[in-house]
């Protein structure tokens, strides 16, 4: 455990960059070898749009990183947060800390973004992707990146997370979201076992169906248990899914960087809920 703490406590920026690029490359190759959907589209143009938003996410996180460090240092000095109050050992700090940060910093903000119209205006950019693959993972409007960062800060504050724990969580979260969005044909038997605790592509891609209520299900990033606990878990035949957003199916709205950047500031048709017969 000391090796984990030492490594992540001083994790080099180069290693974090390699994790981002390496993860994307790994799942990019894997999903092209064993794809679920074989739809023909301009994959390089599609990837270019998503990588642009990946870079804006990295930029936002980089500019706000001092807040993350400041809050973490303060909680350690003040002995504030769950890991300090209950004097958790390193292993319990790791397990409980990652679970709480995944709940607050990923599941909860994601759920709220779907329920609060102002936040949804930013989050819809993520849902406009009509060809979901591993590059979709970080297709977030810069404004949404700020909201998500704020909830990550809240999670760090509540947990009292030391720097090493934050980097462990962020590393796990990054790989989980790349995996969960990948266009990978995932064996059902393995999915059923893994998804009892963790999010799989079979589970998360339901969330990217273009119609509600499926786009309001399966919010999870690392752990699937939050959707099971709060009743937002659903299983759907993945081959019947259609990606995108019913209000933004035109290419001009879904595949244009400028249109996506200004999308939160424009009026859009309401995203309505369909019946079981209409949704698929």
Whether residue 35 contacts residue 187, with contact meaning beta carbons closer than 8 Å, is answered with no
Report residue 91: phi and psi, to 5°: -70, -45
Q: How far apart are CA 138 and CA 136, in angstroms?
A: 6
Quick one: average pLDDT of 128-143? 95
Q: What pLDDT score was predicted for residue 276?
A: 63
Structure tokens at 94: 């790791």
pLDDT digits over 45-54, tens only? 899 999 999 9
**Whether residue 277 has pLDDT greater than 70:** no
Output the CA–CA distances (angstroms, integers) from residue 241 to 172, 203, 259, in the order listed.
Answer: 27, 12, 25
Q: How far apart are CA 99 and CA 176, in angstroms?
A: 13
Output the CA–CA distances (angstroms, integers) from residue 193 to 41, 196, 202, 224, in the order listed.
Answer: 33, 6, 12, 11
Mean pLDDT computed over every residue of the chain: 92
Q: What pLDDT score was predicted for residue 21?
A: 87
Q: How confident is the model at residue 17 (pLDDT cuts 50, 70, 90)?
A: confident
pTM to 2 decimal places? 0.93
């Amino acid at each position: 455990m000391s090796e984990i703490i030492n490594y992540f406590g001083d994790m080099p920026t180069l290693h974090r960059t390699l994790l981002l690029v390496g993860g994307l490359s790994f799942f990019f190759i894997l999903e092209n070898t064993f794809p679920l959907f074989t739809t023909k589209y301009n994959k390089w143009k599609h990837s270019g749009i998503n990588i642009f938003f990946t870079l804006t996410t990295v930029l936002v996180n980089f500019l706000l990183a001092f807040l993350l460090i400041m809050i973490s240092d303060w909680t350690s000095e003040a002995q504030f947060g769950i890991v300090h109050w209950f004097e958790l050992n390193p292993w319990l700090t790791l397990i409980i800390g990652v679970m709480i940060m995944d709940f607050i910093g990923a599941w909860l903000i994601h759920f709220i973004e779907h329920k609060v119209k102002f936040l949804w205006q930013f989050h819809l950019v993520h849902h406009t992707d009509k060809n979901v693959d591993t590059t979709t993972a970080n297709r977030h409007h810069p404004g949404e990146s700020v909201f998500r960062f704020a909830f990550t800060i809240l999670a760090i504050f509540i947990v009292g997370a030391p720097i090493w724990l934050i980097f462990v969580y962020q590393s796990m979260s990054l790989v989980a979201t790349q995996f969960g969005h990948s266009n990978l044909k995932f064996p059902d038997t393995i999915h059923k076992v893994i998804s009892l605790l963790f999010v799989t592509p079979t589970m998360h891609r339901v969330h990217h169906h273009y119609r509600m209520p499926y786009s309001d299900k399966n919010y999870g990033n690392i752990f699937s248990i939050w959707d099971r606990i709060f009743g937002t878990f659903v299983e759907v035949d993945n081959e019947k899914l259609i990606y995108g957003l019913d209000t933004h199916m035109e290419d001009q709205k879904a595949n244009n960087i400028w249109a996506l950047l200004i999308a939160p500031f424009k009026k859009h048709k309401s995203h309505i809920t369909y019946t079981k017969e209409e949704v698929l």
